[in-house]
Amino acid sequence: MKKKFDVTGMSCSACSAHVEKSVRKLAGIKEVAVNLLANTMQVTYEEELISDQEICTAVVEAGYGATVREMLSNKQEKPSEKKQNITQIEISHMKFRLVVSLIFSLPLMYISMSHMFSLPLPVFFHGTENAITFAFTQFLLTLPILYVNRNYFIFGYKTLIKGAPNMDALIAIGSSAALLYGVFAIYYIGYGLGHQELGVVRQYVADLYFESAAMILTLITFGKFLEIKSKGKTSEAITKMLDLAPKTAVVLRNEQEREVPIEEVIVGDIVFVKPGQSIPVDGTVVMGSSFVDESALTGESIPVAKQKEDKVIAATMNKMGALKIIATKVGNDTTLAQIIQLVEEASSSKAPIAKLADQISGIFVPTVITISILATIGWLMAGATFDFALSIGIAVLVISCPCALGLATPVAIMVGTGKGAERGILIKSAESLETAHKVDTVVLDKTGTITQGRPKVTDVIFGSDINENELLQIAASLEKQSEHPLSIAIVEYAESQAITLLVVEEFQAVLGQGIQGKIGGTQFFAGNIKYMQENHVTIESFLEKGDALAGNGKTPLYFANDKVVLGIIAVADIVKSTSKAAIQQMMEQGIEVIMLTGDHQRTAEAIQKEVHISKIIAEVLPQDKENVIRKLQEQGKKVAMVGDGINDAPALVRADVGIAIGAGADIAMESADIVLMKSDLLDVVTALELSKAVIKNIKMNLFWAFFYNIIGIPLAAGVFYTFLGWKLNPMFGAAVMSMSSVCVVSNALRLKLFKPSRDQQKVEGQANFISLNQKEKEERKMKKIISIEGMMCNHCKKNVEKILGDLDGVVSVVVSLEGKSATLELSKDVSNELLTQTILDADYQVVSIK
């Protein structure tokens, strides 16, 4: 059983460490993760051995508060909305405390420091005869500051009594010591005035320390105010998503359209969405067509076309037409709710890098208190005055900052996971985020990962007795009777060309070979070479072309009548437009990229050649993919497996980091550590880069937190005073301590500026376009692109390259079979007539010249 608890009263990493320790020692507890930033605790436990109430009791006995965060129904407030409200209340409360503290601390500082800067004061504050007035006024101004900041004392002394002091305890002890010394001084001033010992009066008037107590509390409250405001910014990604979700929906009730609160929508409701409105629930389009902007959830900037039977996601924007959808997921089952849950769970989890900070936090505060006492005693023994030794002790207490240690990791993880969510990259745990930055080998499944995952027609080659449209009409009419993926690809292509299908009679299918049927009384065949040969069809004239297509990783399908082959339609699983660039970027970053596929070696090699991947492993059964990953790990490699999350599940689980690509609405894939909502390999690069950026940020935060304390505590203890004369004023120590936490949070917020390399390349590309614009215009005059029909194979390609390359003025020729074009770079103008005649003489057709 896994449950989340809201914990109150925590102020630093010592608190979170103590809460974690108190719960972890209970029987039946498997795992505990306390998040100081979110004030939550995630507990995995055996419900037969321990109850929620016992866990809450353990937290309460440790000096804090705890309540179970219940599973939400559709009508309850979302955790993130609740957290937003709590954050706003915290900011308002802290702002009130800060304002009151400033109102009373400013006149207090003026009175106490006026003699140092020769500032004017009322006459009743001057002279030893007015010493009591001078001191007691400062005491009265300090009291409101103590009252509004009483939580430091309440929680601080409570944790001290429990034997687990935290940052509040350091503040409470430090400010209490300064306050008590000031009260002690007032009594001595009264004694001196009563006994005419003016030397005693002058001594204690100069060492009241009320301003130290007040300014310690004021500066720390100021730091906390900035910290809470900064913390609120860490979850802006989720806040933006929540703002996208509409509060109401228009549904069909009793045959009428009614606007109802979103909480009242149920599965099966018919929901109406007008152009410009956000879609309120996950569902399926039953009427209408439109373009939907899914960028907020998937990071895809181009609106996606939607029509009948297409799925739509809650919180996406309907851009054009009106849609009528049937609700399939509502409330906490929607994709948006699952994204928010994933991001929150990742933010609540702990990265292994945080363990050292947690271990130190557990002993940090008791160690600081011990150092403070020893430093005070040491200076007294060395002959220093009591007020000097006391200021040393107070400075040690207030400069020490366990907060920076506690915030170093969670703030970076929360901002990082939120930044990933903005781009449709969902990171399930802090551990997988940390592991990802160590990945040195990425294994890519071919189908659906490198390629589009669905076959498409790439080439249509026809003989002299038929034209392209006639071949497509016969082929599609036959294939329409079959449900094979290759058949579907041909039918879709024919429909896109507005081809009218014919009636097929006596249809037959031969498993693994082909299909046949009669159209208008004529027998036609469709299939592989073996099927053609078995039906005594003459195929020789097309064999070379078919071999060339197969050599390029395509599947040639032969179409024939009862005598001869009429033509070939080649079908292939097309490589995604971004796959080559993504693979190149990973290789440039020193990552070994391996393609894993169940396809034949020849097909795999064709894909390898196209995307320039370094290594392929072909003819691997789905159940054996996991074994390949294990063998790579045995070689000492950190492996990330990228797949579609269906037949790749065992390999995704085995890998150090499992990345499910193209999840869309199915984001709750248990087998994956990172879920990519888009089917874009560049998002894998972005995920790895984001991981490196977050871990780098965490290391910077931890360095600052350790460095600050390692330097600050000895400085406050007076270690450098003897030979350098450096002594830290307690007020300055409090200011520095407050700023240390703010610095850590602010540094983590820099992750909001994270830009993946794909974005930087776009910017560079735009800059290059602007700077080279004139040059490109000039170059464009010296380039011609010829569209050519009739090229069928590599021999055709080489022939066209040769005949055009031999022309005077042609510098280079690049021929594309797939693009059916030749791109010429010219040193001088070559007439279109000459180019056309040259190509016609070689038995090819010129469609156009640009």
What's the Cα-to-Cα distance from 728 to each of 223, 367, 398, 731, 742, rounded to whole Å? 19, 19, 11, 8, 20
Which residue(s) pair with 826 in the sheet? 810
Q: Which residues of 252-276 are buried (b: 16+ CB within 10 A; e: fewer)?
A: eeeeeeeeeebeebeeebbbbbeee
Do residues 361 and 13 lie in contact, with contact meaning Cβ atoms separated by under 8 Å?
A: yes
CB atoms near residue 706 (< 10 Å): 16
Which residue(s) pair with 825 in the sheet? 783, 812
Alpha-carbon dihedral of residues 6, 8, 12, 16, nearest 10 degrees? Answer: -50
Q: CB burial class (10 A; 0-12, 13-18, 19+) of residue 499?
A: buried
Does residue 22 sit in helix, strand or coil? helix
Half-sphere exposure of 560 (CA within 13 A, CB side): 25
Report the C-alpha gap between 598 and 556 in whole angstroms. 19
Do residues 72 and 116 lie in contact, with contact meaning Cβ atoms separated by under 8 Å?
A: no
Q: CB burial class (10 A; 0-12, 13-18, 19+) of residue 100?
A: middle
Tokens representing 124 are 């009743």
- Which spans in 63-209 are helix H? 79-117, 131-148, 150-161, 167-194, 198-205
State yes or no: is 387 an active-site residue: no
> At 475, which amino acid appears?
A
Instruction: Please identify which of the residues 168, 269, 358, 445 carries the catalytic annotation.
Output: 445
Tokens representing 145 are 């500051």
Which residue(s) pair with 517 in the sheet? 524
Provide the strand spans (E) within 606-710. Answer: 615-617, 639-643, 657-660, 674-676
Catalytic residues: 445
